[in-house]
Structure 1
Amino acid sequence: MLITAACSSDSGDSKDKGSGAQQSATAGSSKSPSASASPTVQAAAYGKLPGPCAVLSKKTLTDLVPKAKSGKTGSSDAPATRGSCSWSSLDNNGVKGSQFRWLNVSLLRFDSDATRGAGDKQAHAYFTQQVKDAQNVDGAKNAKVLPVSGVGAEATLVRYDLTKKEGAFKQQTMVARVENVVVTLDYNGAGLAGEKTPDADGLSKDAQRAAKEAVAAVTAANGEGSARSSSSKAPASPSASASKAPSKSASASPSSSASPSKSATKKN
């Protein structure tokens, strides 16, 4: 009887241990995948930006800002992620007045991030905000918002009239996205001291041509054939650090640099 009891006790104990070990192994194996899994996001297509003052050809600059000597880079430029350049042109015709032109190009690149999402989605969100900001200008009249094809993955032109003490200004803002980069181009013109007000349609065509050239420069800077299809337009919110600081650079530069008229947009 003693021997039998001892054998029974050993047998039961081994079953309990085996069952416990199996349960422990099962629980461990079921938790491991979830514990080790981490979100992944597609790498951004473009990893660099061209110099902002070099995105437009000499011919284009001569056509748009004929009296500009050189471009002025933005004070908050960070070559890998953002940059801006502006040109100011004043064609003085003496007693007949003067023709004023001002041009600004801003570039902003978004990196993919597990928290903020894919770079192109962040860029799309910023693109949408830039178009909205361009429409909210104090004193703007006869505003038009026009989608533009053939310039990056998506592009929109916002144009309006703005009256200042110096004269009547025609403002054109082109916003375009190519992959994970947003190009914002501001171009305005005015006839000062009695000179004829420039044709808005002509300025619009010039702005679109310049924006297309700037987008091509972004693509070229990242290597021929490196661009991938970027048709995704699903909204995504950029992080505070990625969206707020760049928008200040893009909107503040025009208003402070459009000397002598200070005619560029002032965002609300």
Structure 2
Amino acid sequence: MSEGTMQRAAERKQRNRRDQGEQRMRGGLHRVLVGAAVVPVMLVAAGCSSDSGSDDGAGDSAKSSSASAAASASPSPTVQAAAYNSLPEPCTVLTKKTLKDLVPEAKSGKAGTSDEAGTRGSCSWSSLDNNGVKGSQFRWLNTSLLRFDSNVSRGSGEKQAREYFETQVQDARSVDGAKNAKSEPVAGVGDEATAVRYDLKKKEGSFKQVTVVARVENVVVTVDYNGAGFAGDKTPSADTLNKLAQKAAKEAVASVTKANGSGGGSAGTPSSAPSKSASKSPSKSPSGSPSKAASASPSESASKKS
């Protein structure tokens, strides 16, 4: 091999080495560039993932705010306002003429004790017409008033009064020892009224009892009236007592309406707390009266005066 040929072969090997080096350099640079390009892509992806999480949190917050707004916008429970907001003085619900007809010998009424004057009240009268050996006529009268306030948990005052009305009528029908019990609706007295009458035997004599329960709006009026003949005097007529008791109930209801104005009561804001009277009923007397003032038996009062 000539010297020139050997030199050209050496030059070709040198060029090949240089070309291979350049290819390796370009390959390394390409890998570096590719790796560098991947990093921004990963950062972008991570950023998108982070933004998506933030959006979800904001969405949850927005949903929570929307739910709270919807809850606050929903109306609060309401109840119809009570029609009557006050009661008359119990001892003034009957006129002097009516009292003269029912309890002719009564000097004055005895008001029942109550710490809820605007919610409940009662008054009773006793009358003994003592004719000595010719006998005596005893009469006892009691009126009780109970007003119910409207309340979200208990309902409207009128609803509560209707329920109490039914309870009072049922109690009058189920008095212990009552005989010949009869009940009848009474027209023209409040929104609804029922009269219950019966005979009651006591050691002092035979009593005739009439209970008239009436409801007007959110007020319940109960009139108890009884009578007896002592010392051989005749027992009063049940029909007469019933007629007089209904007259007293009608007058008492009219007094309640008048005390609240000719148009009824005010449509004011319902009470925020239930009336105490709605959760407790007046105690019963032996004669069937619902008044606390009537805790003493009418016959006991008569015996004291005899």
TM-score normalized by the length of structure 1: 0.85
The Cα shift of 1:149 comes to 2.0
| 1:19 counterpart residue number | 56
Letter in 2 for 1:17: S
User: What is the distance in 2 between the residues matched to 1:62 and 1:31?
Assistant: 66
Which 5+ residue runs of structure 2 have no aligned equivalent? Answer: 1-36, 267-273
Letter in 2 for 1:9: A
| 1:214 counterpart residue number | 252
User: What is the distance in 2 between the residues matched to 1:248 and 1:163?
Assistant: 17
| 1:138 counterpart residue number | 176
Compared with structure 1, are the counterparts of its residues 255 and 162 closer, same or farther at alpha carbon in structure 2 (3 Å cutoff)? farther
User: What is the distance in 1 between the residues matched to 2:233 and 2:115?
Assistant: 36
TM-score normalized by the length of structure 2: 0.75
Compared with structure 1, are the counterparts of its residues 77 and 160 closer, same or farther at alpha carbon in structure 2 (3 Å cutoff)? farther
8 Å CA contact retained: 2:192, 2:214:
yes
User: What is the distance in 1 between the residues matched to 2:283 and 2:295?
Assistant: 13
CA RMSD of superposed structures (Å): 2.4
Q: Trace 1:130-209 onto structure 2 (pairs within 5 A).
A: 130-209=168-247
Aligned length in residues: 253
The Cα shift of 1:252 comes to 4.7
The match for 1:79 among 84, 98, 117 is 117
Of 26-35 and 197-206, deviating more is 26-35
| 2:127 counterpart residue number | 89
Identity %: 64
| 1:59 counterpart residue number | 97
Which 5+ residue runs of structure 1 have no aligned equivalent? Answer: 229-237, 263-268
Compared with structure 1, are the counterparts of its residues 176 and 241 closer, same or farther at alpha carbon in structure 2 (3 Å cutoff)? closer
User: What is the distance in 2 between the residues matched to 1:223 and 1:251?
Assistant: 26
Letter in 2 for 1:203: L
8 Å CA contact retained: 2:143, 2:221:
yes
What secondary structure is seen at the aligned counterpart in 2 of 1:103?
strand
| 1:226 counterpart residue number | 264
- Structure number with greater Rg is 2
What secondary structure is seen at the aligned counterpart in 1 of 2:214?
strand
Compared with structure 1, are the counterparts of its residues 171 and 224 closer, same or farther at alpha carbon in structure 2 (3 Å cutoff)? same
Compared with structure 1, are the counterparts of its residues 182 and 89 closer, same or farther at alpha carbon in structure 2 (3 Å cutoff)? same
The Cα shift of 1:14 comes to 2.2
The Cα shift of 1:85 comes to 0.2
User: What is the distance in 1 between the residues matched to 2:199 and 2:209?
Assistant: 6
